[in-house]
């Protein structure tokens, strides 16, 4: 029993309460919010430190003992994701202090952001299926709150679409959790993993398929991704970066927990199906991106496309595949959030997200052009950036298993990703501005935005130049999962 195991939930929740109570004192609220996220970061580092030496933080509630009480267990996988969650929270809150598309300053903005962090942290920390459902609901209610906070008609429209499709996924998840309980008699991950091989084959496949389907809706996989591009672009940039980095990855993590850990005894059919879903997700996501000219819409479609790669790692159903998935997820959260943040800086300097109405930034801000290329080329997978190693790990395992079709799709999608990223770079930075009278805004407050984006770019570079420590960590994490 260690109190550290509940900190991914406790710290953000306390911050939610503290920032809600100080709504009318913006400065105090701001200070409490920074304090909360720094404490969260510290606790996450302690969790990783514990998990890395095989002493995962564990807490069981209610005095029931392990398989019956609600358990929080932060193993290597969970700890790394909690750490990256805290990092993303810190980057978004820092970015919020700049004037690059922060949206209207509603007094409930900070409490809701910390609420999302609590939901995400709880999902990564818990070891109980029903508890996972509860954290998904916490995430859902806080995120629809953030969508609706602006109150513009397009934001309300986006809220409605996001809410309806996600609520449908949540209800499916609730039913599937009920089914898992019905066939195994357990909700604890470890107990499910032990009980699952005893369940008749057909029933187990059906139940697992229902659960994975619910998680795939949350992850934004083909063909259930419609909620994502329909809503994300209406958010203010710091919140958008947080969502883009974290929310879909929680769905992916849940799939990893299910097919890579607790229900790894599932039939090969499910892995095969997941592989084709992953290939379709990659391809359709990137094609959707190629069609758009709004930077936020392009990047939103690339979230979907990259989810395909991550799911492909799980579909390979091996330890190396799971390790690749974890590596890819960690790299991708940083890169994706950073791209959205840099897009917001571009918006601040040029006044539009639409690539057809902007240009000429390279002459005025060459540093921004280089900064954009770091996450953009990492997303494509150009060596020596972090995305190269992530893709290499996934594709190496795919080829080792003889999955030629999936590998070919993945490589094709990389080329199309390069096209999209170069489209943004050529249009926003290289081509002259279409309006000859355009001048950059004179006074901007972009220092916090620069700090946040450069910090995230440094993380990307660090993973890219020294991948071995993260790779070792991911492989060790995959070994502690109950994969095949």
Partner 1 sequence: MIWLLAITVWVTVSAGAYLALSRDVFRCVLGLAILGAAANLVLFAAGRLGPALPAVVPLGDEVLGSAANPLPQALVLTAIVIGFALVCFSLALVLRLIQRTGIDDALELRQAEPQPTDPVKPPYAGEGFDPVWPGSAPGKGGST
Of residues 131 and 258, the one with the C-beta less far from partner 1: 131
Of residues 232 and 406, the one with the C-beta less far from partner 1: 232
Of residues 42 and 104, the one with the C-beta less far from partner 1: 104
Burial label for 451, CB within 10 Å (0-12, 13-18, 19+), is middle
Tell me the closest approach of the beta carbon of residue 120 to partner 1, in angstroms: 17
Q: What is the DSSP string of 371-410?
A: HHHHHHHHHHT-TTSHHHHHHHHHHHHHHHTT-HHHHHHH
Binding interface with partner 1 (CB under 8 A): 130, 133-134, 137, 140-141, 144, 148, 151, 153-161, 163-164, 167-168, 171, 174-175, 177-179, 181-182, 230-231, 233-234, 291-294, 297, 356
What gap in Å lies between CA 182 and CA 90, rounded to an integer?
41
Tell me the closest approach of the beta carbon of residue 228 to partner 1, in angstroms: 12
What gap in Å lies between CA 414 and CA 411, rounded to an integer?
5
Tell me the closest approach of the beta carbon of residue 337 to partner 1, in angstroms: 21
Q: Tell me, what DSSP letter sits at residue 60?
A: E
What gap in Å lies between CA 153 and CA 148, rounded to an integer?
9
Q: 438: number of CA atoms within 13 Å, CB side? A: 16
Tell me the closest approach of the beta carbon of residue 157 to partner 1, in angstroms: 4
The answer to whether the CB of 337 falls within 8 A of the CB of 244 is yes
Beta bridge partners, 274, equal none
Tell me the closest approach of the beta carbon of residue 173 to partner 1, in angstroms: 9
Of residues 34 and 181, the one with the C-beta less far from partner 1: 181
Tell me the closest approach of the beta carbon of residue 192 to partner 1, in angstroms: 13
What gap in Å lies between CA 222 and CA 216, rounded to an integer?
8
Of residues 297 and 433, the one with the C-beta less far from partner 1: 297
Tell me the closest approach of the beta carbon of residue 287 to partner 1, in angstroms: 14
3-state secondary structure of 228: helix
Of residues 174 and 412, the one with the C-beta less far from partner 1: 174
Of residues 148 and 287, the one with the C-beta less far from partner 1: 148
């Amino acid at each position: 029993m260690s109190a550290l195991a509940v900190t991914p939930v406790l710290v953000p929740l306390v911050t939610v309460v503290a920032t809600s109570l100080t709504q009318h004192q913006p400065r105090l609220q701001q200070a409490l919010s920074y304090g909360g996220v720094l404490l969260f970061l510290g606790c996450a580092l302690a969790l990783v430190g514990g998990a890395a030496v095989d002493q995962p933080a564990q807490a069981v509630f209610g005095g029931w003992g392990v398989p019956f009480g609600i358990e929080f267990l932060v193993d290597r996988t969970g700890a790394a994701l909690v750490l990256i969650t805290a990092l993303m929270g810190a980057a978004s809150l820092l970015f919020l202090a700049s004037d690059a598309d922060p949206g209207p300053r509603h007094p409930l903005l900070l409490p809701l952001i910390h609420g999302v962090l609590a939901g995400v942290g709880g999902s990564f920390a818990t070891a109980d299926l029903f508890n996972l459902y509860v954290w998904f609901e916490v995430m859902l209610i806080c995120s629809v709150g953030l969508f609706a906070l602006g109150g513009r008609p397009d934001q309300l429209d986006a809220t409605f679409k996001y809410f309806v499709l996600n609520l449908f996924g949540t209800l499916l998840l609730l039913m599937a959790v009920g089914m898992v309980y019905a066939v195994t008699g357990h909700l604890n991950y470890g107990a499910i993993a032990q009980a699952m091989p005893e369940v008749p084959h057909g029933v187990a496949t059906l139940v697992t398929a229902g659960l994975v389907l619910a998680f795939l809706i949350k992850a934004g996989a083909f063909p259930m991704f419609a909620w994502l591009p329909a809503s994300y672009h209406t958010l203010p940039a710091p919140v958008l970066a947080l969502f883009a980095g974290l929310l879909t990855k929680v769905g992916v993590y849940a799939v990893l927990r299910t097919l890579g850990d607790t229900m790894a005894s599932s039939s090969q059919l499910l892995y095969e199906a997941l592989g084709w879903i992953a290939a379709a997700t990659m391809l359709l996501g990137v094609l959707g991106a190629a069609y758009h000219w709004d930077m936020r819409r392009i990047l939103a479609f690339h979230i979907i496309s990259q989810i395909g790669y991550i799911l492909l790692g799980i579909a390979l159903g091996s330890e190396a595949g799971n390790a690749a998935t974890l590596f890819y997820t960690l790299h991708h959260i940083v890169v994706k959030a950073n791209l959205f943040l840099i897009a917001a800086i571009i918006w601040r300097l040029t006044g539009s997200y639409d690539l057809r109405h902007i240009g000429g930034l390279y002459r005025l801000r060459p540093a921004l052009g280089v900064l954009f290329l770091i996450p953009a080329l990492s997303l494509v997978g150009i060596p020596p950036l972090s995305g190269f190693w992530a893709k290499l790990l996934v594709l190496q395992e795919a080829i080792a298993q003889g999955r030629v079709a999936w590998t070919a799709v993945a490589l094709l999608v990389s080329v199309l990703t390069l096209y999209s990223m170069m489209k943004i770079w050529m249009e926003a930075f290289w081509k002259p501005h279409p309006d000859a009278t355009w001048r950059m805004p004179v006074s901007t407050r972009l220092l916090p935005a620069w700090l946040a984006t450069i910090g995230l770019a440094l993380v990307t570079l660090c993973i890219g130049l020294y991948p071995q420590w993260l790779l070792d960590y991911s492989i060790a994490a995959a070994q502690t999962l109950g994969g095949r």
